[in-house]
Amino acid sequence: MGKTKHGGPMRLPKTPKPGLWVSPVPLGLGKVKPHHIYDTLKTVWRNRDNLPYAYRILTRGVCDGCALGVSGLRDRTLVGPHLCTTRLNLLRLNTAPAIQGDVLTADIDELRRMTSAELRELGRLPYPMIRERGERRFRRVTWDEAMDRIAAKFRAIDPKQAAFYLTARGLTNETYYMAAKTARFLGTNHIDNASRICHSPSKTALKRSLGIGASSCSYTDWIGTDVLVFWGSVVANNQPVSTKYIYAAKRQGTKVIVVNPYREPAMDGYWIPSIPESALFGTKLADDWYQVNIGGDIDFMNGVMKHWFEMEKREPGSALDLAFISKHVNGLEELRAHVEGLSWDGIERGSGLPRERIAAFAGLLARARSGVFVWSMGLTQHRFGTDNVTQVINLALLRGFLGRAKCGLMPIRGHSGVQGSSEMGADPFSLPGGDFDPATIERIEKLWGFELPKWQGDIVGVTLENALLPDGHGRRLRLFYTSGGNFLETMPNPDRIRQSLENIELRVHQDIILNTSMLADAREAVILLPAKTRYEQEGGGTSTSTERMVYFSPEIPGPRIGEAREEWRIFLDLARRVKPEEAARVMKAETAEAIRAEIALAAPNYDGIQDLAKQGDFFQWGGMWLCEGGVCPTPDGRGRLIPIASPGIRRSEDAFMATTRRGKQFNSMVYGEVDPSSGALREDVLMNPDDAAELGIADGEAVVVHNRFGRFYGRLRTAPVARGNLELFWPEGNVLFPSGVYEPHAGIPEYNTEVRVEKADVFYARKDRKYRTKEADEPEEAPAAPSAGTGAEPPCRTE
């Protein structure tokens, strides 16, 4: 924890700087770029039936989009308005009326013909619904009927056969906390959240190396740092207002570097609507690119360190911050021995970059007095995601970029709730204020007044696989309670996920809108529970941003939807129905204020949350910098360098490594078929022009991307992607990824794979005799049981 307090928002310079312009032609005429004005007008039109409420949400609420963090239209980084089209696109989720007419009770096949976008457009879920096995339609039930049915199921099964999951868009800390407490009260540790498929490796790696579980710095540290590096992170698309921070940084001379297989157009140049010169002429964001192979980051960073150690041999202190290392860091010699033992050949092959380019990057960092490293899914969504992040931490420790101004490590979060979810304990490896370890368990048991289950809970991927365990198995998933989440459109291998969903006896979907996963059958019944948005919650709610700002979002006056309830209230109700007598004794907090007061006791770093009561209230836990002064919350106060071996990806000569990217979307919610930054359609397969020429495939030709896990039917689009690599849109590309392959420390599923690409006509002509087809019983790679990375035992699938 740091002592220094955040200094508050900074001011942008008033004079323009033409050297940063993308083009002297105004408004990016002739260029592929987002159309912010058009998108804003579209938002006004879409919310025309509820404009005053929409305005109040934007001006008073805390954004429910990404976790950059903004209260109303103001943030803590820059003076001036903070608004983006992502927030505007999501606005309709909050202003839409209830689903009209008989749609909710239509034949299930009619609903199943709709896409998730069409289901979303239907409006809000107004009241509880149930669909029993064999029934063709949902039917309305009372809250009592729905909750009693769920409670009865809880009482009838072993708690190890029940699991909770919570999404990250819009949920508040109060909801996560109540869900975490309820799950343990009901005897299960199977509770997980959306960070499992995004940043769980970040937390695991940060804990392992530094003892922290969140960004070590604040956004204001970007502004004026010598080097700002984005690793596998397209912030211009996913956290759009961050482009304003990058602009501010560049105005102070910061060098911006992007490490990514695809030269993402949005990170090359962006038209920032709230900065007049940028809105007119655009801003060049990246100063340089390092187009690594998919999965080549570890090799790349080993190359950087190898170069540094060579520099040190020639001139001690020319690359490493030796004073910082000797005072604050362990493991230098082991790391040195490991890296020096690696060959440049292997590093170049693995990273896809020549030694000279790696040396250029190493030299830039060696000369920098300060640096901030930001990363996202490009590093985490790998079966070695924790090791990827560990390498970034290794670089920062070797350069002393930690715990001081303009330095730090930032896993930038894409969902408004996700930072708080694990910190509130909605995670199999966490409890409020700590890990799932004996000391924290004891502390929380005292506070909560009941005994916690001691066995290790499962990550959500394993939970879903457990639905396919044989009947009678002690860990077979029989009741799955999910707040938000659309697993069919977020997890690898959707066919397998559907089997899992259908094999669960009772599935409960607590949500504000319909999605495709809710329409899957269940063995006994599917129950839908209508939730309130964060803006409708009595007593307001809080959410924690990437930079650890805990913002208060007040209840906002406006229309309310049918029988929708506060999510925390639904969990509390469930606890009381399953074990009424004990709940009366230990589940007492029944207002948002009382929950916040309890959070402050349960999670000591959240002390202060109990005082958040009105619009604009906030605090930053941990201060400006975690590990301030280089002192880490580890047993000896020192950071840990960890040697990381190359993952050794060796694709076949005729194969590609494929990964996914995002377009006009928020998580799995797609808002446009065309990616505004690249012009790519969602069916497009992005490939390097030289690779396309070698394959004899022209732009726009139909292709099949295939491997033993699935097939993707799309169109080829040439783009500046590193050779031998492909990019597809997420989640469409998920059909190509294996299920059951998890990162061993944090449990994130693998979202990268080797594929082959062929013209569609060639594929069809050959497929019957040449290719294996995907069959239901085809064995896939054996699942790797993840260990917690937090000192807990690995989750078990077969207990």
Q: Residue numbers of the site for ligand SF4 (CB under 6 A)?
A: 63, 65-66, 68-70, 82-84, 86-87, 239-241
Measured from the CB atom, is 68 or 339 closer to ligand SF4? 68
Measured from the CB atom, is 88 or 641 closer to ligand SF4? 88
Name the one residue in this structure whose structure tokens are 């655009």: 282
Measured from the CB atom, is 87 or 745 closer to ligand SF4? 87
Starting from the edge strand earliest in sequence, which strands make up the sheet with 549-553, in order? 541-544, 549-553, 618-620
Q: How far is the CB of 240 from ligand SF4 (least distance, A)?
A: 5
Q: Which of 541, 539, 536, 538 is nearest to 561 (CA)?
A: 536
Q: In Å, how far from its chain's centre is CA 397? A: 25
Q: Taking each helix axis from N to C terminus, what angle separates 355-367 and 297-314, rounded to the nearest 10 degrees?
A: 60
Q: Which of 602, 702, 588, 531 is nearest to 129 (CA)?
A: 531
Residue 717, classed as helix, strand or coil, is: strand
How many whole angstroms separate alpha carbon 365 and alpha carbon 151?
57
Measured from the CB atom, is 63 or 93 closer to ligand SF4? 63
How many whole angstroms separate alpha carbon 136 and alpha carbon 677?
42
Instruction: Sort 38 into a burial class: Cβ within 10 Å, 0-12 / 13-18 / 19+.
Output: exposed
Measured from the CB atom, is 50 or 416 closer to ligand SF4? 416
Handedness of CA 771, 775, 778, 783 (dihedral sign): positive
Q: Which residue is nearest to ligand SF4 (CB)?
A: 65
Q: How far is the CB of 238 from ligand SF4 (least distance, A)?
A: 8
Q: What are the CA-CA distances from residue 89 to residues 92, 429, 455, 676 (Å)?
A: 7, 33, 41, 14
Q: Which of 159, 115, 94, 2 is nearest to 488 (CA)?
A: 115
- The DSSP bridge partners found for residue 330 are 640
Q: How far is the CB of 522 from ligand SF4 (least distance, A)?
A: 34
Measured from the CB atom, is 33 or 36 closer to ligand SF4? 36
How many whole angstroms separate alpha carbon 611 and alpha carbon 540?
12
Name the one residue in this structure whose structure tokens are 């916040």: 596
Name the one residue in this structure whose structure tokens are 């490590």: 409
Q: Which of 705, 690, 680 is nearest to 762 (CA)?
A: 705
Measured from the CB atom, is 278 or 503 closer to ligand SF4? 278
For the chain, how many residues are written?
A: 799
How many whole angstroms separate alpha carbon 381 and alpha carbon 774?
24
Q: How far is the CB of 106 from ligand SF4 (least distance, A)?
A: 33
CB 466 within 8 A of CB 458: yes
Torsion angle of C-alpha atoms 649, 652, 654, 659, degrees rounded to 10: -30
Measured from the CB atom, is 58 or 512 closer to ligand SF4? 58
Residue 563, classed as helix, strand or coil, is: coil
Measured from the CB atom, is 66 or 246 closer to ligand SF4? 66
Q: How far is the CB of 351 from ligand SF4 (least distance, A)?
A: 31
Which residues have C-beta within 8 Å of that of residue 642, sequence separation ≥ 6? 208, 209, 331, 335, 390, 394
How many whole angstroms separate alpha carbon 78 and alpha carbon 210?
29
CB 77 within 8 A of CB 220: yes
Q: How far is the CB of 200 from ligand SF4 (least distance, A)?
A: 21
- The DSSP bridge partners found for residue 684 are 715
Measured from the CB atom, is 278 or 753 closer to ligand SF4? 278
- The DSSP bridge partners found for residue 479 are 162, 506
Measured from the CB atom, is 86 or 390 closer to ligand SF4? 86
Q: What are the CA-CA distances from residue 113 to residues 119, 507, 714, 754 (Å)?
A: 10, 21, 21, 31
Residue 126, classed as helix, strand or coil, is: coil
Q: How far is the CB of 74 from ligand SF4 (least distance, A)?
A: 11
Q: How far is the CB of 587 from ligand SF4 (least distance, A)?
A: 32
Q: How far is the CB of 186 from ligand SF4 (least distance, A)?
A: 34
Name the one residue in this structure whose structure tokens are 């340089």: 288
Measured from the CB atom, is 672 or 794 closer to ligand SF4? 672
Which residues have C-beta within 8 Å of that of residue 156, sequence separation ≥ 6? none
Instruction: Sort 333 into a burial class: Cβ within 10 Å, 0-12 / 13-18 / 19+.
Output: exposed
Q: How far is the CB of 180 from ligand SF4 (least distance, A)?
A: 24
Measured from the CB atom, is 67 or 531 closer to ligand SF4? 67
Measured from the CB atom, is 279 or 468 closer to ligand SF4? 279
Q: How far is the CB of 183 from ligand SF4 (least distance, A)?
A: 28
Measured from the CB atom, is 82 or 203 closer to ligand SF4? 82
Q: How far is the CB of 85 from ligand SF4 (least distance, A)?
A: 8
Measured from the CB atom, is 82 or 149 closer to ligand SF4? 82
- The DSSP bridge partners found for residue 98 are 124
Q: How far is the CB of 412 from ligand SF4 (least distance, A)?
A: 10
Q: Which of 113, 152, 116, 111 is nearest to 524 (CA)?
A: 152
Q: How far is the CB of 56 from ligand SF4 (least distance, A)?
A: 16
Measured from the CB atom, is 90 or 497 closer to ligand SF4? 90
Instruction: Sort 58 into a burial class: Cβ within 10 Å, 0-12 / 13-18 / 19+.
Output: buried
Q: How far is the CB of 239 from ligand SF4 (least distance, A)?
A: 5
Measured from the CB atom, is 68 or 697 closer to ligand SF4? 68
Three-state SS for 446-514 is: HHHCCCCCCCCCCCHHHHHHHCCCCCCCCCCCCEEEEECCCHHHCCCCHHHHHHHHHHCCEEEEEECCC
Q: How far is the CB of 194 from ligand SF4 (least distance, A)?
A: 15
Q: How far is the CB of 119 from ligand SF4 (least distance, A)?
A: 22
Q: How far is the CB of 564 from ligand SF4 (least distance, A)?
A: 23
